[in-house]
Amino acid sequence: MSTRPGGRSARVRDAVLAATYAELAEHGYPALTVDAVAARAGVHKTTVYRRWGSVDVLLADALDHTRDTPWPLPDTGSAEGDLIAITTEVAEAFAHGLVPTAVVAAAFQSPRAADALRDFYAARQARAALVVVRAVERGELPAGVDPVEVVRTACAPLCYRVLVTREPVDAAVAERAARAALAAARAGVI
């Protein structure tokens, strides 16, 4: 789908995608409708139907748009500081918003949302893995370490707590998860 970088088209897209996330967080995927998204975005429903056609396409586009949004990579000067910054950001996203969990729930109900979510996390993990690459270059981690797997290992306990056991996550949990992943990487396990 092609859009102009600015102007009305970009404003409509931004409003509709923000409304998609808001509706998803507030009502969940089963109650997500094009009509509700259009009303929240302040556009006519035919605009949404013509451009996106369905809630699956809306959600996939919202994830694609978020995936493509620049994300500043932490650079604290150490692998530990960088990985803790990443896990802390993930913990804060889960602790302060319903959108991440609502999107994961939607992915279980929509193959298109599942594909978009997989692509979103693959892009974020690849970007986050650059902190591990820098750590290898500085000699903090062994050369054979898998950078993406270190990031996954650091974030997995947070996702498990939020999505499976429904436990809260905080800075202490995030820090512990980052340090455990680093210990595994240093030991050659990852």
CA distances from 28 to 12, 21, 55, 59, 74 (A): 22, 10, 12, 12, 32
- When the pLDDT of each residue in the chain is averaged and rounded to a whole number, the result is 91
Cβ pair 104, 60 in contact under 8 A: no
> What is the number of alpha carbons within 13 Å of residue 23 lying toward its C-beta?
23
Over residues 11-19, the mean pLDDT reads: 94
Provide the pLDDT for residue 9: 87
Tokens 């556009």 belong to residue: 43
Please say whether the beta carbons of 136 and 155 come within 8 A. Answer: no
CA-CA distance, 16 to 2, in Å (whole number)?
Answer: 15
pLDDT of residue 28: 87
Q: What's the whole-model pTM score?
A: 0.83
Q: What is the pLDDT of residues 170-186, one digit of tens each?
A: 999 999 999 999 999 99
pLDDT digits (tens, 9 = 90+) for 131-148: 999 999 999 999 999 999
Query: Nearest CA to 49 among 57, 40, 41?
Result: 57
- Tell me the C-alpha distance between 38 and 32, whole Å: 11
With contact defined as beta carbons under 8 Å apart, do 155 and 80 qualify? no
CA distance 165 to 148: 24
Stretch 151-160: mean pLDDT: 96
Q: With contact defined as beta carbons under 8 Å apart, do 102 and 29 qualify? A: yes
pLDDT band with cut points at 50, 70 and 90 for residue 6: low
Classify residue 30 by its DSSP letter: G
Of these ranges, 47-51, 90-94, 100-104, the one predicted with the greatest mean pLDDT is: 47-51
Predicted confidence (pLDDT) per residue in 98-121, tens digit:
678 888 888 888 898 899 999 999
